[in-house]
Amino acid sequence: MSDTLLDSRNLAFELYEVLDAEGLTQRPRFADHNRETFDAAINTARTIADKFFAPHNRKSDENEPKYVDGAAELIPEVKPAVDAFLEAGFLNATRTFEQGGMQMPNLLSQACFAHFQSANAATSSYAMLTMGAANLIENFGSEEQKERFLQPMIDGRFFGTMALTEPHAGSSLSDIRTKAEPAEDGSYRLKGNKIYISGGDHPLSENIVHMVLAKLPDAPPGVKGISLFIVPKFLVNDDGTVGKRNDVALAGLFHKMGWRGTTSTALNFGEKGECVGYLVGKPHNGLSYMFQMMNEARIGVGMGAVMLGYAGYLYSLEYARDRPQGRLPDGKDPASPQVSIIQHTDIKRLLLTQKAYVEDAIVGTELDGLPVLSAAAPFKACDRKGVCAEESSFTVVPAGELKVKNIADLYLYNNRLMAVKVTGAELEQWLECSASQFFQITDTADRQELVDFTGFPTYNFDVIDGVTYQIDVTEPARYNGDCVKVSDGTRIVDLQFEGTAIDPDQTFLIASNDYRAHGGKFAGTGGDHVVIESPDENRQVVGNYIQANSPVTPTADNNWSFAPILGYTSNLEIVFRVPNTNRAKNFVADAVAGAGGSFLATLLDDSGNEAIYELNLQP
């Protein structure tokens, strides 16, 4: 078997030495796997890709799909290839054993899929789109939708697409015009035109499930008015059999410059007013759901491009080994045999450049290896204006396993994920500004408030995770609420990363959000520092993380605390306030319990609107 799809030694090195794929078998979900099962799957992928996908790669590019009588025709080699892929179970590689899957880590599933992409990016796209559409229904569809549409997709009977783009709305999805009117039976009737829909028609499956973005009649303008619908090419009967043709017509095929074997279609929905669709999830939330499939498609298309480049490198390598040409500088005798061109230094340089390009695309960037911290404002017990009596300003996340449904509480705002690169010195200043949230505690027996809710906006109190530190509230605040320097106070003490004091010149990445990264008031933030700008909202990122790593059961890591107050002679009475509700008081009790004795809060007074607690910082 040839190694022109993916060099097996290189792949094994990436998987087992760089990425520690075997480490994944320690997780309960992958406990039935080991290196042998991983290698067996990879070898099967290689065999099928070699036998069924690679041979028609060129032919499918030279013979792009044809539009014949309202349907797309493909060359005959595509279906047996896709069938072999399905038969071997690669469509469901990551699904659980109960679902009929291989329960593989995504890393291994991607490594297997890379062989198909390297062999034939176009034919593998039909499978890629189906996996993405199935995952979308699995996460956001109703039980009935899962039974009717997801199960046949898992079984390989139905394929899927994503139908977003319209003639006048590509990047600008807020402008889509496809409409969905409610019908009496609870379904919807769609009307609109979509273009560039990959896999929008083909003869590879019994049915095609289009995941369509459209707007309901009462939709608010813009992206907040987009809903997601399942629109099958053929309606599905109650007994699961495929019924009559839905009102989705193939209007034509686009001719592309590459990737020509995948149909790129123009689809007309509802030309006869009879296009049946089913709403997925809640109305007007469609784009946020669709981001899951868009992100999978981004990774898939990116991997496809890398594999195309990689296959190109392997073919060049093979050619360079076989092509005799010229002689080396120290052997110019014309009677001596020619050497293969790989022996010429410049050809070696070219090959290594090709290899480096694709490997770089896989492995990462210059940011690889920097310590990653995260910054977030955890205080939600009072709202932005310092009002402490609103129940709604609490973040309620139940103890135990995190669920996707907790995300709205975990992350209140629709900010996007961003990361900034900072020095140790900037990190320390960032924390100093946050620590200005507290009043300075002086050596007096008079009652003293701890938290400054009026002079300092609560949302500027950041906790930075991944480092440990203490806050010494006997020192004056170094900054005001706008991070403008007002004193030389040093409140941040014992700032450490992995048990060692932080070097001011050390570099860190801090994951946060677009508001903070571009906020610019903290040291280390602002445009010059931003190194990663994700298009995804933090909520989406957290949701993906929970889905990928379930079960996620975080515990308080108590990475920061107040420094004990040692030198004062007075018996201090330091107080903080919360709304006088059971919920707020339970939070305080939880926090005290979670801190494992590092701080104690005693209830002093709950006769009014607020409950006043004393915080004991004197050992």
Alpha carbon separation from 170 to 66, 173, 197, 291, 360 (Å, rounded): 24, 6, 11, 15, 29
β strands within 74-157, DSSP E: none
Residue sitting closest to ligand FAD (CB): 170
Q: Is 170 in the site for ligand FAD (CB under 6 A)?
A: yes
Q: Taking CB under 6 A as the rule, does residue 525 contact ligand FAD?
A: no
Identify which of residues 152 and 192 has a Cβ nearer to ligand FAD in the complex.
192
Residue 175 CB, shortest distance to ligand FAD, in Å, is 10
N-terminal to C-terminal alpha carbon distance within the chain: 71
The smaller minimum CB distance to ligand FAD, of residues 14 and 537, is found at: 537
* Identified binder of ligand FAD from the candidate list 109, 123, 124, 165, rule CB under 6 A: 165
CB nearer ligand FAD, residue 192 or residue 225: 192
Pattern 115-154, binding to ligand FAD, x per CB under 6 A?
----------------------------------------
- Closest CB to ligand FAD among residues 265, 470: 265
What's the CA gap between 509 and 557, in Å, rounded?
20
Question: In this complex, which beta carbon is closest to ligand FAD, that of residue 94 or of residue 264?
Answer: 264
Whether the CB-CB separation of 512 and 526 falls below 8 Å is answered with no
Beta bridge partners of 480: none
Coil/strand/helix, residue 82 = helix
Segment interacting with ligand FAD, rule: CB under 6 A, options 144-152, 159-167, 280-288, 382-390:
159-167
Tokens 């390009």 identify what position?
357
Per-position DSSP letters for 198-257, written without gaps between them: ETSS-SSSSEEEEEEEEB-TTPPSGGGGBEEEEEESEEE-TTS-EEEEPSEEEEEE---S
CB of 110 to ligand FAD, least distance (A): 20
Determine contact, residues 187/274, Cβ cutoff 8 Å.
no
Beta strands 248-253 and 264-269 are antiparallel
- Does 612 contact ligand FAD by CB under 6 A? no
Rounded to whole angstroms, the Cα distance separating 403 from 221 reads: 30
CA distance 162 to 151: 18
Residue owning tokens 């890393």: 107
SS3 state at 158? strand
Write out the two tokens for 35.
């290196």
Whole-number Å distance between alpha carbons of 309 and 517: 34
* Residues between 485 and 514 with contacts to ligand FAD, criterion CB under 6 A: none
Shortest gap between Cβ of 538 and ligand FAD (angstroms)? 22
Window 245 to 304, contacts with ligand FAD (CB under 6 A)? 259
Q: Which is nearer to ligand FAD, 260 or 380 (CB)?
A: 260
Whichever of 161 and 540 has its CB closer to ligand FAD, that residue is 161
Determine if 196 is a binding residue for ligand FAD (CB under 6 A).
Answer: yes
Q: Which of 111, 121, 197, 307 binds ligand FAD (CB under 6 A)?
A: 197
CA distance 172 to 166: 10
Residue range at the interface with ligand FAD (CB under 6 A); choices 180-188, 191-199, 238-246, 281-289: 191-199
Residue pair 162/129 in contact (Cβ under 8 Å)? The answer is: yes
Nearest approach, Cβ of 255 to ligand FAD (angstroms)? 12
- If the CB atoms of residues 15 and 204 are measured against ligand FAD, the closer one turns out to be 204
Minimum separation from the CB atom of position 169 to ligand FAD (A) = 7
Q: Which amino acid is at 217?
A: P
**Least distance between ligand FAD and beta carbon 197 (Å):** 5
Smallest separation, CB 182 to ligand FAD (Å): 24
Specify the residue, 171 or 241, whose C-beta has the smaller distance to ligand FAD: 171
In angstroms, the CA 50 to CA 393 distance is 58
Angle at which helices 106-119 and 35-48 cross, to 10°: 20
Q: Is 164 in the site for ligand FAD (CB under 6 A)?
A: yes
Write down the least CB distance from residue 172 to ligand FAD, Å: 6
Region near ligand FAD per CB under 6 A, out of 12-20, 162-170, 436-444, 563-571:
162-170
Minimum CB separation from ligand FAD for residue 265, in Å?
9
Helix 106-119 vs helix 286-322: angle between axes, to the nearest 10 degrees?
60
Peptide bond connecting 329 to the previous residue in cis, omega within 30 degrees of 0: no
171 binds ligand FAD (CB under 6 A): yes
Residues 45, 133, 163, 377: which binds ligand FAD (CB under 6 A)? 163
User: Which segment (135-143, 190-198, 364-372, 484-492) binds ligand FAD by CB under 6 A?
Assistant: 190-198
How, if at all, do strands 234-236 and 242-245 pair?
antiparallel
Q: Give the nearer residue to ligand FAD in terms of CB position, either 66 or 298.
A: 298
Smallest gap from residue 125 Cβ to ligand FAD (A):
8
CA atoms within 13 Å, Cβ hemisphere of 142: 12
How many whole angstroms from its chain centre is CA 4?
31
In the bound state with ligand FAD, the residue whose beta carbon lies nearer, of 301 and 370, is: 301
User: Using alpha carbons only, how large is the chain's radius of gyration in Å?
Assistant: 30
**What one-letter code names the amino acid at 75?**
I
Region from 161-169, 439-447, 561-569, 605-613 binding ligand FAD, contact rule CB under 6 A: 161-169
67 binds ligand FAD (CB under 6 A): no
As measured in angstroms, the least distance from the Cβ of 611 to ligand FAD is: 49
Beta bridge partners of 479: 485
The site for ligand FAD, by CB under 6 A, has a size of 11
Any idea which residue has 């979670």 for tokens? 594
Give the one residue of 6, 24, 48, 162 binding ligand FAD; rule: CB under 6 A: 162
Question: 99, 106, 105, 232: which is closest to 154 by C-alpha?
Answer: 99
**Segment near ligand FAD (CB under 6 A), from 103-111, 164-172, 266-274, 466-474?**
164-172
Minimum distance, C-beta of residue 588 to ligand FAD, in the bound complex (Å): 47
Answer whether 380's CB lies under 8 Å from 480's CB: no
Interaction site with ligand FAD (CB under 6 A)? 161-165, 170-171, 196-198, 259
